[in-house]
Amino acid sequence: MIKNSKLRFIFFIILLLLFRPSVMANGQYSVLTIDSCYAMSERNYPMIRQYALLEKSEKYSVSNAAKGYLPQCFIVGQASYQSDVTKLPVSLPGFSFEELSKDQYRIYTEVVQPITDLLHVKNNVELVRANVRVELQKTKVELHKLRQRVNQIFFGILLIDAQAAQIQLVKKDLRIGIDKLHTAIKNGVALEIDAAMLEVELLKLNQRMIELKALRQAYIDMLSSFINRSIDEATVLEKPHLPVLRSELRRAELDLFASQKTVFDIRSKLLVSKNTPRLSLFFQAGFGRPSLNLLNNDFSPYYLGGVRLNWSLSSLYTYAKEKKSLDIAKDLLDVHKDVFLFNTNLSLMQKKSQIIKLEGLIASDRDIMLLRERIKEVSKSRLELGTVTANDYISTVYAEDQAKQNLSLHQIQLLMAQYDYNTTAGN
């Protein structure tokens, strides 16, 4: 048995730390931090399922595009009738040549192995991957917007909790005032109407608590939907510490712009490769009448192979305009990026100014609150002596309450502004 009281106290504290539940038995969080809300909301957001789908899509699309490296196989059949056939322009005594049939048939298989097209195929594979990266970045942009919405809900609940806590303090002051008035009434220095006035204000505060409770529940329901977790009245939202402001821009939009520019660069390469001569190896084997020997009118097999050069000159007609269209699209992308940077930096400047203003207000709020506390304590003593009216005391109580509410409001607004600043910067 522990005899020393100090040791008993230390032992008790250790037990509290060891057995303090951070998660309740039914899986509901007893303490929620804003970082945990970020993580859970992102996991629960329906768009997050796009990641797995995009990865599968990339795998199949790259596999299909890479098939361009393989030889291309064709099976061709042809039947024709022509108005004339090849004839020998001479005749030899004792020799006769069978005239070729004007109906001719041919079926063959051709295998073509591209050579210069391999670069075109490589660019196609890169384009598939670049397009997938663009879609992934678009998903990250949406997740950034999600974090901003979590900020609004989370800090909104903290503000409601601060207002509710302050109302409880005001109710406590009013009850003390009522008790003092009852004493003054017994001493004949106050009237019962004064106590009734304080009780009316107490009932008004109870009504305000009902409104705040309903508003908090609405916010809790929204947060619960975002994080896909049930949140009951026992759940506590932990007030975050003041974060370190980071002005470096790390927004997902910047990576999106970079990915989109990569797509335009690859499309430019494809445009060039599409308009260059194409060299390939080919092998053809088939069966026909006539085959390679045009003087043989019988069905016979044949084969041939070699090198083939193709160059579609018609694609050059539109090359210049297609190139200009890509250049214009890249320039527009740069404009959009500059606009985004301008607006984001302007927003950061405004938020920084708001943070500086709130820091100044908080310092002033503390001074006002201390003065209001002293005034209320003096008014409380005079109330018992009957030298001030109930209205005067109510005014001093509400004035102190307003000072404390302003301090609490500005502190939470500062927290929200700082988190909003980092979120806007992408940190």
Assign 288 to helix, strand or coil.
Answer: strand
Residue bearing tokens 């006539």: 290
Q: What is the average per-residue pLDDT within 151-167?
A: 87
Structural domain spans, the chain: 27-69+115-277+313-425
How would DSSP label each residue in 292-352?
S-TT--S-EEEEEEEEEEE--GGGHHHHHHHHHHHHHHHHHHHHHHHHHHHHHHHHHHHHH
Assign 116 to helix, strand or coil.
Answer: coil
Q: Can you say how many angstroms the Cα of residue 312 is from the centroid of all Cα atoms in its chain?
A: 45
Q: Are 293 and 300 in contact (CB under 8 A)?
A: yes
Pick the more confident residue, 4 or 233.
233
Pick the more confident residue, 55 or 292.
292
Which of the 8 DSSP states describes residue 67?
G
Q: Is the pLDDT of residue 3 over 70?
A: no
Q: What is the pLDDT of residues 328-352, one digit of tens each?
A: 988 999 999 999 999 999 999 999 9
Q: At what angle do helices 34-44 and 192-227 cross, to 10 degrees?
A: 40
pLDDT band for position 23 (cuts 50, 70, 90)? very low
Tokens, residue 393: 């005391």
Q: What is the pLDDT of residues 354-374, one digit of tens each?
A: 999 999 999 998 999 899 888
Question: Residue 210 carries which side chain, given as an amino acid letter?
Answer: I
Check residue 15 and give its pLDDT.
36
Q: Are 112 and 280 in contact (CB under 8 A)?
A: yes
pLDDT band for position 5 (cuts 50, 70, 90)? very low
Percent of the chain whose predicted confidence (pLDDT) is above 70: 85
Q: What is the Cα–Cα distance from 28 to 224, expressed in whole angstroms?
A: 11
Q: Is the pLDDT of residue 126 over 80?
A: yes
Pick the more confident residue, 425 or 179.
425
Q: What is the pLDDT of residues 249-260, one digit of tens each?
A: 888 899 999 999
Check residue 346 and give its pLDDT.
93
Which of the 8 DSSP states describes residue 47?
G
pLDDT band for position 45 (cuts 50, 70, 90)? confident
Considering the segment(s) 27-69+115-277+313-425 as one domain, its CATH architecture is: Up-down Bundle (1.20)
Closest CA to 408 of 344, 340, 358: 358
**Entry pTM:** 0.69
Check residue 22 and give its pLDDT.
40
Which of the 8 DSSP states describes residue 108?
E
State the Cα torsion 30-34-37-38 to the nearest 10°: -160
Pick the more confident residue, 301 or 197.
301
How would DSSP label each residue in 141-189?
HHHHHHHHHHHHHHHHHHHHHHHHHHHHHHHHHHHHHHHHHHHHHHTTS
Q: What is the Cα–Cα distance from 77 to 72, expressed in whole angstroms?
A: 17
Judge if the upstream peptide bond of residue 71 is cis by omega within 30 degrees of 0: no
Q: At what angle do helices 117-186 and 252-274 cross, to 10 degrees?
A: 170
Percent of the chain whose predicted confidence (pLDDT) is above 90: 12
Q: What is the average per-residue pLDDT within 155-177?
A: 84
Closest CA to 148 of 63, 34, 282, 58: 34
pLDDT band for position 400 (cuts 50, 70, 90)? confident
State the Cα torsion 287-290-293-298 to the nearest 10°: 90
Check residue 24 and give its pLDDT.
41
Q: Is the pLDDT of residue 262 over 50?
A: yes
Tokens, residue 308: 């083939």
Q: What is the Cα–Cα distance from 28 to 232, expressed in whole angstroms?
A: 8
